[in-house]
Chain A
């Protein structure tokens, strides 16, 4: 038998493998360019035209390039950007009858292509978004706007259809930026869909311009040499904005490997983040805006036997929920929940217990419901006993007028939410309420498909849970969500934000009053009154005031966590410690 050298062959194989594996290891890690900023968003931006996509990731990515007339700072105060000052009643920028607002624009601003920025571009941005053929996702910022006109090159006059006590909707905040007329004039209406080049590389006034845009992957920005503070600002000459992956590995890339300088929206269970932060490479930063995780309490009857009348609001109250409209029931449900335990166990410092639907800004936050912060199972049981809602057939579940308190409780699929559901189910079982849990994929639950029975708008359940919030700092339109005319139903194609289907003329009167009130303190008082009505009537059961969580590398300086605007709002001021 001839000698056939398998030994030699395997040796060769091992050598090839080893060389292959370790030959590629160069120096420990490539030298980070000091002037390159690496940002990681685990949801990748799809476009930079914020009018075509309402997503937060797109708004943030576009905020490096496109700017509004004014932004909100980290405390929620308005700061002029392309305007010289914030128009107010005092400085005459807002007319006495509250129907117009006049913005004076800075005259030293040029677009990144070197052409001057004028009032005409502002007018165009309004025309662009309100064109009905576009399907603009930010059109709500232009609610009630009747006309926008350029008085001269640096003055813009906005006229509203009626008195507008809070006129800072149009052109304020990252979601309502100014587009250049010269670039987009051939992209109006339906044509915008095919303007790929323009949508991916908008010309802006911000500190950066797009060098390369790869949709759903990565954006490379370089410094805008026509920026008003160039060359003093920005410090970073390049920005690498990478997308994709998941939140946990995004946190790791900043806090453990330090490959990235900034990572956004780290929805990870807090103990995991904390362990990563202990490496000392990066820091977790958080800020509290208006996001509140809440239970929505169905005021109508979702019983499947009702067929087409399921969860449909009837003005005469004939389709009211059999037990959830009873004060004893909704109060008991709220009392049985230990919000502090939920906040501590599931959210850590990224969430705190709240009893309000409107927890911020501070002047709007009510203190009238704080008793809910303490769990009171005994009290809840006593309340139900007193109301005569007791267990009559001995199955451990209470009945009201013969209807057992069985609750179908739905939310979107998300590990954190399922943990919350489990806790609440346990607590409710202690007061004789039986809970069936259900979770639905987020894209279906929050999707608007009127044919699907599983959307949050259809609300074919007794209770559902999600987080809601609003842009900017003014709660007027947010609070008007829960007026009678906003109730979703078959006649409106299930559109409408009054998901719980509550209708109280008193609440509607407050909404109307707020629309006519200009004084900030009066507005705050009205907002608090509305918040208290929502909570005390059991339309919603607030649970957790949620914070936004991001992470930065320790040598990245100047980051001011902003929940009222884009998190990257002051990127021109970011620097690297040497």
Chain B
């Protein structure tokens, strides 16, 4: 098993290098211009100069090597220094990878954005798992019951109604008409456990974006759990378990559920990188300004360094998400053995 993990981690390195090069090459071909959104009152000569000073006109390979150096070597060293307090080499002179839009290190932006995304997207993912699995189990066990019908109906809604619509609907109902929840997320709000008001405020402002996303995630996961359960409920081993006289609870929760969860766990593990990517549309609607919003603003502003870095970070998470899913398989399913 540990051999398998090491092998997977080692193959991840060339994979990620190839991904980074491809991402870089694709973005290099994009016609987006970092000065394209500036007002027309800024003369073209000045724009050309700004581009040049940003390094936007450097040749492709120069930019790529710069990025590899700054992102893969300098930034990890910086993080190491900051966390351990040891200074390695000439840390003052070390160049950090800078965003064109903000002229600040991209890693700092990512670190600044991560809490919002984890609060909102992460919570909704957890919530979705907690809701979806029981719903899926009950729906499958009582197939075609009222509960199943209602569950199917809600899942269909969650599936087919896009988040920009539910988000808007929530704002109109809960912010405009009822005035229960704020429609704009306050990213500067600091939560402290001792201050109950701050916790309540955080829960209130999280409610709408979390609910919108949880509805979407729940729909997916509950359908998946249901079909996986249905498949197992009709298996021979279930009949055997029942005929042995095991209690119904034991049969369903120990035998059927455990086997049914294998594909569900894979789905959940593969979805984890998605949490870090944020939810571009939902973040935009509620102004959560997490990683998704950072990415979309960078794309709109032609801020290629930020787009490259974020895309690459997501690629890393996806590769590791895959490894995690494979490991989870082995743990859950004794039939799976890696050599």
Q: How far is the CB of B126 from chain A (nearest CB, A)?
A: 12
Which residue of the partner chain, among B35, B48, B108, B252, contacts A495 with CB atoms under 8 Å?
Answer: B48
Asked if A259 and B182 make an inter-chain contact with CB atoms under 8 angstroms apart, the answer reads yes
Nearest chain B residue, comparing its CB with the CB of A175? B41
Across the interface, which residues of A come within 8 angstroms of B293, CB to CB? Answer: 216-217, 244
Asked if A256 and B176 make an inter-chain contact with CB atoms under 8 angstroms apart, the answer reads yes
- Tell me if B187 counts as interface (CB < 8 A to partner A): yes
Asked if B142 and A216 make an inter-chain contact with CB atoms under 8 angstroms apart, the answer reads no
Across the interface, which residues of A come within 8 angstroms of B180, CB to CB? Answer: 25, 28-29
Return the CB mask of A481-512 against B: 1 if under 8 Å, else 0: 00000001000011111000000000000000
A192-200, A402-410, A523-531, A536-544 - interface stretch: A192-200
Assembly CA distance A447 to B101 (angstroms): 15
Q: How far is the CB of B108 from chain A (nearest CB, A)?
A: 8
Asked if A246 and B101 make an inter-chain contact with CB atoms under 8 angstroms apart, the answer reads no
Across the interface, which residues of B come within 8 angstroms of A34, CB to CB? Answer: none
Asked if B104 and A196 make an inter-chain contact with CB atoms under 8 angstroms apart, the answer reads yes
Given A140-B42, A217-B289, A442-B103 contact (CB < 8 Å): no
Assembly CA distance A190 to B39 (angstroms): 23
- Tell me if A24 counts as interface (CB < 8 A to partner B): yes
Asked if B33 and A137 make an inter-chain contact with CB atoms under 8 angstroms apart, the answer reads no
Across the interface, which residues of A come within 8 angstroms of B181, CB to CB? Answer: 25
- Tell me if A9 counts as interface (CB < 8 A to partner B): yes
Given A216-B294, A249-B285, A252-B171, A495-B138 contact (CB < 8 Å): no
Asked if B142 and A215 make an inter-chain contact with CB atoms under 8 angstroms apart, the answer reads no
Q: How far is the CB of A220 from chain B (nearest CB, A)?
A: 6
- Tell me if B5 counts as interface (CB < 8 A to partner A): no
Assembly CA distance A244 to B42 (angstroms): 24
Asked if B131 and A13 make an inter-chain contact with CB atoms under 8 angstroms apart, the answer reads yes
Across the interface, which residues of B come within 8 angstroms of A30, CB to CB? Answer: 201
Assembly CA distance A40 to B204 (angstroms): 20
Which residue of the partner chain, among B31, B35, B109, contacts A452 with CB atoms under 8 Å?
Answer: B31
Given A2-B248, A214-B112, A471-B41, A446-B289 contact (CB < 8 Å): no
Asked if A216 and B101 make an inter-chain contact with CB atoms under 8 angstroms apart, the answer reads yes
Which residue of the partner chain, among A13, A26, A494, contacts B204 with CB atoms under 8 Å?
Answer: A26
Return the CB mask of B25-54 against A: 1 if under 8 Å, else 0: 000000111011111111111111111111
Assembly CA distance A56 to B249 (angstroms): 64
Tell me the residues in window 169-218 of chain B with beta carbons closer than 8 Å to chain A beta carbons: 171, 175-176, 179-184, 186-188, 197, 200-201, 203-204, 207, 211
Q: How far is the CB of A5 from chain B (nearest CB, A)?
A: 9
Nearest chain B residue, comparing its CB with the CB of A59? B39
Across the interface, which residues of A come within 8 angstroms of B300, CB to CB? Answer: 443
Nearest chain A residue, comparing its CB with the CB of B296? A244
Across the interface, which residues of B come within 8 angstroms of A259, CB to CB? Answer: 175, 182-184
Asked if B35 and A257 make an inter-chain contact with CB atoms under 8 angstroms apart, the answer reads no
Asked if B44 and A496 make an inter-chain contact with CB atoms under 8 angstroms apart, the answer reads yes
- Tell me if B235 counts as interface (CB < 8 A to partner A): no
Nearest chain B residue, comparing its CB with the CB of A42? B287
Across the interface, which residues of A come within 8 angstroms of B46, CB to CB? Answer: 54, 136-137, 139-140
- Tell me if B158 counts as interface (CB < 8 A to partner A): no
Asked if A448 and B47 make an inter-chain contact with CB atoms under 8 angstroms apart, the answer reads yes
Which residue of the partner chain, among B33, B45, B102, contacts A47 with CB atoms under 8 Å?
Answer: B102
- Tell me if B262 counts as interface (CB < 8 A to partner A): no
Q: How far is the CB of A252 from chain B (nearest CB, A)?
A: 7
- The residue among A52, A136, A215, A469 with the most chain B CB atoms within 10 A of its own CB is A215
Asked if B33 and A447 make an inter-chain contact with CB atoms under 8 angstroms apart, the answer reads yes
Q: How far is the CB of B296 from chain A (nearest CB, A)?
A: 9
Across the interface, which residues of A come within 8 angstroms of B53, CB to CB? Answer: 133-135, 190, 193
Across the interface, which residues of A come within 8 angstroms of B134, CB to CB? Answer: 9, 13
Tell me the residues in window 15-68 of chain A with beta carbons closer than 8 Å to chain B beta carbons: 17, 20-21, 23-26, 28-30, 40, 44, 46-47, 49, 52-56
- Tell me if B165 counts as interface (CB < 8 A to partner A): no
Which residue of the partner chain, among B103, B113, B197, B252, contacts A52 with CB atoms under 8 Å?
Answer: B103
- Tell me if A466 counts as interface (CB < 8 A to partner B): yes
Asked if B31 and A448 make an inter-chain contact with CB atoms under 8 angstroms apart, the answer reads no
- Tell me if A218 counts as interface (CB < 8 A to partner B): yes
Size of interface on B: residues with Cβ below 8 Å to A? 77
Q: How far is the CB of A174 from chain B (nearest CB, A)?
A: 12
Assembly CA distance A1 to B187 (angstroms): 54
Asked if A24 and B203 make an inter-chain contact with CB atoms under 8 angstroms apart, the answer reads yes
- Tell me if A162 counts as interface (CB < 8 A to partner B): no
- Tell me if A245 counts as interface (CB < 8 A to partner B): yes
Which residue of the partner chain, among B44, B186, B201, contacts A457 with CB atoms under 8 Å?
Answer: B44
- The residue among B32, B50, B127 with the most chain A CB atoms within 10 A of its own CB is B50
- Tell me if B312 counts as interface (CB < 8 A to partner A): no
Q: How far is the CB of B309 from chain A (nearest CB, A)?
A: 14
Asked if B102 and A216 make an inter-chain contact with CB atoms under 8 angstroms apart, the answer reads yes
Assembly CA distance A445 to B302 (angstroms): 12
Tell me the residues in window 456-476 of chain A with beta carbons closer than 8 Å to chain B beta carbons: 457, 466-471
Assembly CA distance A140 to B182 (angstroms): 43
Q: How far is the CB of B302 from chain A (nearest CB, A)?
A: 5
Q: How far is the CB of A40 from chain B (nearest CB, A)?
A: 7
Which residue of the partner chain, among B35, B138, B287, contacts A244 with CB atoms under 8 Å?
Answer: B287
Tell me the residues in window 126-159 of chain A with beta carbons closer than 8 Å to chain B beta carbons: 132-140
Return the CB mask of B286-311 against A: 1 if under 8 Å, else 0: 01010001100100111000000000
Return the CB mask of A225-266 against B: 1 if under 8 Å, else 0: 000000000000000101111100100110011011000000
- The residue among B43, B175, B184 with the most chain A CB atoms within 10 A of its own CB is B184
Across the interface, which residues of A come within 8 angstroms of B201, CB to CB? Answer: 26, 30
Across the interface, which residues of A come within 8 angstroms of B302, CB to CB? Answer: 443, 447
Q: How far is the CB of B128 from chain A (nearest CB, A)?
A: 12
Asked if B184 and A260 make an inter-chain contact with CB atoms under 8 angstroms apart, the answer reads yes
Supply 19 A–B pairs (Cβ within 8 Å), ascending by A: A4-B248, A29-B179, A47-B102, A47-B103, A54-B41, A54-B46, A55-B39, A140-B42, A214-B289, A216-B289, A220-B188, A244-B287, A245-B184, A245-B285, A245-B287, A442-B37, A447-B302, A469-B41, A488-B44
Q: Can you list the 10 inter-chain pairs with the closest CB atoms, starting with the nearest?
A: A447-B33, A135-B53, A447-B36, A215-B102, A495-B44, A24-B203, A443-B36, A217-B289, A2-B247, A196-B104
Given A249-B287, A495-B44, list of 11 further CB < 8 A pairs?
A10-B147, A13-B135, A20-B127, A215-B112, A216-B102, A216-B293, A243-B287, A259-B175, A443-B37, A448-B47, A452-B31
Residues in chain B within 8 A of chain A (CB atoms): 31-33, 35-54, 95-96, 98-99, 101-105, 108-109, 112-113, 127, 131, 134-135, 138, 141-142, 147, 171, 175-176, 179-184, 186-188, 197, 200-201, 203-204, 207, 211, 247-249, 252, 284-285, 287, 289, 293-294, 297, 300-302
Residues in chain A within 8 A of chain B (CB atoms): 1-4, 6, 9-10, 13, 17, 20-21, 23-26, 28-30, 40, 44, 46-47, 49, 52-56, 132-140, 190, 192-194, 196, 199-200, 212, 214-218, 220, 240, 242-246, 249, 252-253, 256-257, 259-260, 441-449, 451-452, 454, 457, 466-471, 488, 493-497
